[in-house]
A and B are shown apart, each in its own frame.
Chain A
Amino acid sequence: MATLIAPITFSPGADAEALHKAFKGWGTDEKTVIAILGHRNVYQRQQIRKLYEEMYQEDLIKRLESELTGDFERSVYRWMLEPADRDAVLANVAIKDGSKGYHVIVEIACVLSSEELLAARRAYHHRYKRSLEEDVATNTSGDLRQLLVGLVTSYRYGGDEINARLAKTESDILHSSIKEKKGNHEEAIRILTTRSKTQLLATFNRYRDDHGASITKKLLDDASDDFRKALHTAIRCINDHKKYYEKVLRNAIKRVGTDEDALTRVVVSRAEKDLRNIAEIYYKRNSVHLEDAVAKEISGDYKKFILTLLGKDV
């Protein structure tokens, strides 16, 4: 369920006008920006952007970029982009981040549906004049490259067909591939990058039935390299992405000096989808409401914006 609170009827013209007024003069009326944009869904935002361009002959996003600063600006910018474009931007940033960004690439490739991933790849073409897989491949090597390129180029079958026998054989393959740390991971990569999500869930369940523990339990240790970490992320994202996002948020908030990038990323991309479910998991796990935990760690306009997206009235 979404956390975003947006009105059913609205006037894009009135919104565009109000935003224009907010930009006038010295400084910006951030409160208005948050009050309007923080309460509009993706279609409404695109309409406002279009109308703003017609009325004032400038790109609303560019204007926001120049008027706002810091984490607040970054979060509003990401929020205003169309989802496919946003994923393309996030992917590009992640590629540049190298080792620290691989999990974002895995996230995008595994959490999105086949069509959403495709839209992101198209947006990437449009924005960066290259294919996503080109850039991922150029900046990685070996098993990690195989895994990331495979995930990013997958176009999984989206049906409900499950082959139970296949789940058993592939569960065994994954088991032996994980056990040998420096072995040939081709088969594991093949399974994770080509099978449909329903089939993979069946495989993971089979693994748990056969070995008593979930597949991700013994996957990582201190000596794990980037490949194993990416593998771990991929399995977690496919298995239950809401739990995965809860952990990302938990880590982002817990860290001394919050990881605003991660926080922004999760909130902005999931606010219209399933952030409420993620927040519920967070509460169950940490006995604190997500909004309260977030409010304690961040401040200023950024905090107000994030809390608005979380559905809290500020």
Chain B
Amino acid sequence: MIVFIIIIIIIIIIIIIIIIIIIIIIIIIIIIIIIDCIIILNESHNDTDIFWENHVVYDEWWTVFSGHGVDEKSLVTLLGKWDPLERESFRKKTPHLFTEDHERHFQRWDDHYVHLLKHEFVRFKNAVVLWSMHPWERDARLVREALKKGQNAYGVLVEVACTRSSEELLGARKAYHSLFDHSIEEDVASHIHSIERKLLIALLSAYRYEGSKVKDDTAKSEAKVLSNAIKNAHKKPINEDDEVIRILSTRSKLHLQAVYKHYNEISGKNLDEDLDDLRFKETVQCLCIPQIYFSKVLNAALRIDVDKNTKKSLTRVIVTRAEIDMKEIKAEYHNLYGVSLPQKVEEVARGNYKDFLLNLIVRGG
């Protein structure tokens, strides 16, 4: 009997000891984990402090990836030399570019930003390709692209149709045949169904007289026609007025500049300012005051955070006008905005893209 009781007591004691040992082990494990965490936290904190002391401030990093184009040199010399820890701190310090996945403990590129970044890297290549193209192919491809992009890009159609000489526009139409097996008019007519179609086809089909002869009385009377059409625009919208379309799409540029002048004399305002319809406004600007038009387009494009299409217009304008009237555009730009164009490009563009643009701008004189 007593032996039985003693055996039970010993077993109980052994069980209690085992439990105590288990508890001690658990406590030790918890302590180890806590210590590790503290150590890790301390370590990383120290490293990023050291990193940011030895390298450039956060703001400058943002500029490598913002603006037009990418600063390839900085990327090569700085980012290219970082080790894994430095890259990690970079990722953590730029929440605009990377989002922290707290559950899985890593930082991932923001999808939207990667997509935008792709365009920035490729901006230089696009500029080079566009520059090396024959002007006819260039214009044909610009038209095709604008047709595909949709209504927001139709301004490019007006630009190509109205700022090129008659022979250049003709060349673009020939190149279009060769590249796309259709005529420009065909494709514009079948792609566009809105009311702008009439004006756009008429502008793209024009083969304007380019000589110096202008009939001033006709210019005066046509200025009156335009003035009346604008006054009656609430009854009959401008884009349905056949006479306005006729004048804008068939008359020579010199004639239209005379009309512009007479309009100003009649109504005290400028013709493009009085036109509400965007396409018509662009048409008049391109035909009568092209350097002002281009300066406006450049100004809208030379900003840090504009949409993709507006950014593209920077390349387009500089490449297509570098050999034509860049000098006059520079002068007009300075006139309108008080800043020199090269200076603004220097501010806003980066890397090889920036150097390429500046070269083209300077070429023009």
- The reply to whether the CB of A205 lies closer than 8 angstroms to some CB of chain B is no
Chain A binding site: helix, strand, loop or mixed by DSSP? helix
User: Chain A nearest CB: distance from B322 CB in Å?
Assistant: 27
| Cβ–Cβ contact B207 & A118, under 8 A | yes
Bound CA span A195–B314, Å = 34
Q: Please tell me which one of the listed residues A137, A145, A149, A158 contacts residue B177 in the complex, with CB atoms under 8 A apart.
A: A158
Chain A's closest residue to B176 (CB) is A157
A129 touches B209 (CB 8 A): yes
A145 and B242 in contact, given A154-B185, A190-B189 (Cβ under 8 angstroms): yes
Contact B213 A153 (CB under 8 A): no
C-alpha spacing A224/B173, complex, angstroms: 35
- Residues in chain B near residue A153, CB distance under 8 A: 202, 205-207
Count of chain B residues with Cβ under 8 Å from any Cβ of A? 29
Residue of B nearest to A193 (CB): B185
The reply to whether B202 and A159 contact each other, CB–CB distance below 8 Å, is no
Within 8 A of A (CB), among B157-198: 170, 173-174, 177, 181-186, 189-190, 198
Asked if B209 and A137 sit within 8 Å, CB to CB, the answer is no
Task: Decide yes or no whether A77 CB sits under 8 A from chain B.
Answer: no
Query: With contacts A118-B207, A133-B206 known, is A138 near B246, CB below 8 A?
Result: yes
Contact with B along A125-160 (1 / 0, CB 8 A): 100011111100110011001100110011111110
Q: Is the CB of B211 within 8 A of A159?
A: no
Residue of B nearest to A152 (CB): B205
Report if A46 contacts B (CB, 8 A). no
Residue B321 lies at the interface, judged by CB distance under 8 Å to chain A: no
B residues in contact with A195, CB < 8 Å: 186
Q: How far is the CA of A106 from the CA of B244 in the complex (A)?
A: 24
Is A221 part of the contact surface with B, judged by Cβ < 8 Å?
no
Interface centre among A121, A149, A159 (most CB of B within 10 A): A149
Residues of A within 8 A of B205 (CB): 133, 149-150, 153-155
B residues near A264, Cβ cutoff 8 Å = none
Asked whether, in the complex, the Cβ of A149 is within 8 Å of the Cβ of B211, the reply is: no
Q: List 16 A-B contacts (CB under 8 A).
A: A125-B209, A129-B211, A129-B213, A131-B208, A131-B252, A133-B205, A133-B206, A134-B209, A138-B246, A138-B250, A149-B205, A154-B183, A155-B184, A190-B190, A194-B190, A196-B186
